[in-house]
A and B are shown apart, each in its own frame.
Chain A
């Protein structure tokens, strides 16, 4: 089992984001994420969680501030280098974003195919992953014929199949029953133990409580709420505060 280290994986410094000429949806957001740790991102609806995740998975450039990812300035990163960075990320979108004309199998295989993995090396891991998320018998089904929970599981399987350096999940258990939610959380935990940094945006307090060693980031009206100073850069003692150190959410 990999132990979390203090290697910085993501660093935000005074990041602000506004869409068009509207008001800022994220204001002065500064934090550092460290390799191999498990983070929860919480906050009320409209607090800016999804916007923050968009910056994390490089779907959006900030209006101001600095973002360093994997040791590289992500803002001035040339477009042609973005795919290489994105292949190091696994993303579970809130609206799943499955490719509608592809089967569950092909959707899960997509990151591997995009990365150029030979077809013979794709079959086994994809089949195993679909079995694991309980969709072994639905591998040929198109997303339109799957329930919301099943689509969510396909989206999660797609995000983790390439064993990313960082997994970013936006409300990943919102559409599944509690048993499946816990099972998926264990999958994230297993992936985290293998060294993947996990960032999960969720409203689900019970989910957070099931991961006592996790770190919590809370957004409030676009600002990162930081009562203990754990997420301020540089973080206290070089690391964010643990879930156990925080008051109950």
Chain B
């Protein structure tokens, strides 16, 4: 049993020694110049774009669950007494309707709070003089579909002819569409950033290859393989990408934190419900790793492709 750790240690020692020896073949630290900074910016932007996309997805998901089974019944009548009568009748009818989980008449205080920003509630404001509709907030056990809405309309036609019935999801649909669009935008940004990272690494690798062409030719003449030379570039790029990735992640986290505080300060019900779960943070933390992998694979393929042109 004690043989295995010893063999592993010997292998690690040999691997480290070989890596050190290979790294001496080309001057390290001068291969890619400003690469760590460029990768840090790319990763930072990717982190922000990913976090935004995930937060929007969570927002849409939470909001859609909230409104999926939500139906609003408005009793639109100019006479307050008739409006209240129809509201009570509609409430009773809706509560006994099949598929309805709960229904409540929105209290006047809540209605006043809703219209306050536009109509005000200061002394002297005669809010009762305005034909504000009575609202019944209905929760269905399933998502509100067209058939259920039609059944509710038919049910309320007689006890509350002034009732207007709307699925909450219907009037929030444009918001969801906008959120979906923003998610696509975030995805597009991530794809563009990945493309830009690949292009940057490709240019840096070609530049480094050009700068070290004479050394590479000598190493080739001495029997160095393409893989050996590619490994040197890969290693250098991995170090640069790891440094840039960590820097970019920190940069992105700071930006997310600032944006989070800004949105929280808005106080909007939808925005305050936005958050990133454990799996979201895991995805975000994997971005630098993906960046390193992308940079290393790009460097390897670029170098091998360029070396194939040499004898």
Contact = CB atoms under 8 A, between A and B. Distances in A.
Interaction A to B: yes
Given A58-B311, A59-B311, A101-B27, A113 B22 contact: yes
A68 interface: no
Interface in A101-150: 101-102, 106, 110-111, 113-116, 118-119
B17 A118 contact: yes
Interface in B1-44: 14, 17-18, 20-22, 24-27
B224 A114 contact: yes
A110 B220 CA distance: 11
A86 B220 contact: yes
Contacts of B20: 119
B interface residue count range (under 10 / 10 to 19 / 20 to 34 / 35 or more): 20 to 34
A111 B14 contact: no
Nearest to A107: B218
A79 interface: yes
A115 B218 contact: no
Interface in A47-74: 57-61
A99 B224 contact: no
Interface in A201-232: none
Contact of B215 (A83, A85, A86, A99): A99
Contacts of B221: 57, 59, 86, 91, 97
B268 interface: no
Contact of A110 (B18, B25, B217): B25
Contacts of B17: 118-119
Contacts of A79: 226, 308, 311
Nearest to A90: B222
B193 interface: no
Contact of A86 (B21, B223, B226, B228): B223
A119 B21 contact: yes
Interface string A22-64: 0000000000000000000000000000000000011111000
B279 interface: no
A110 B222 contact: yes
Given A97-B214, A110-B219, A82 B24 contact: no
Contacts of A84: 223
Most chain A CB inside 10 Å of its own CB: which residue of B14, B22, B222: B222
Contacts of A102: 24
B225 interface: yes
Interface in B188-246: 214-215, 217-226, 228
A106 B21 CA distance: 10
Contacts of A97: 214, 217-218, 221
A163 interface: no
Contacts of A115: 223
- A84, A87, A99: most-surrounded residue (chain B CB, <10 A): A99
B244 to A, nearest CB: 24
B214 to A, nearest CB: 7
Interface string B93-126: 0000000000000000000000000000000000
Interface in B260-278: none
A50 B258 CA distance: 66
A60 B218 contact: no
B224 A106 contact: no
Contacts of A101: 26-27, 215
Q: Which of B224, B226, B228, B308 is the most central at the interface, judged by chain A CB atoms within 10 Å of its CB?
A: B224
A115 B228 CA distance: 10
Interface of A: 57-61, 79-80, 82-87, 91, 97-102, 106, 110-111, 113-116, 118-119, 158
30 contacts: A58-B311, A60-B311, A61-B311, A79-B226, A79-B308, A80-B225, A83-B223, A83-B224, A85-B223, A86-B220, A86-B222, A87-B222, A91-B221, A97-B214, A97-B217, A98-B218, A101-B26, A102-B24, A106-B24, A110-B219, A110-B222, A111-B222, A114-B25, A114-B222, A114-B224, A114-B228, A115-B223, A116-B18, A119-B20, A158-B222
Interface of B: 14, 17-18, 20-22, 24-27, 214-215, 217-226, 228, 308, 311
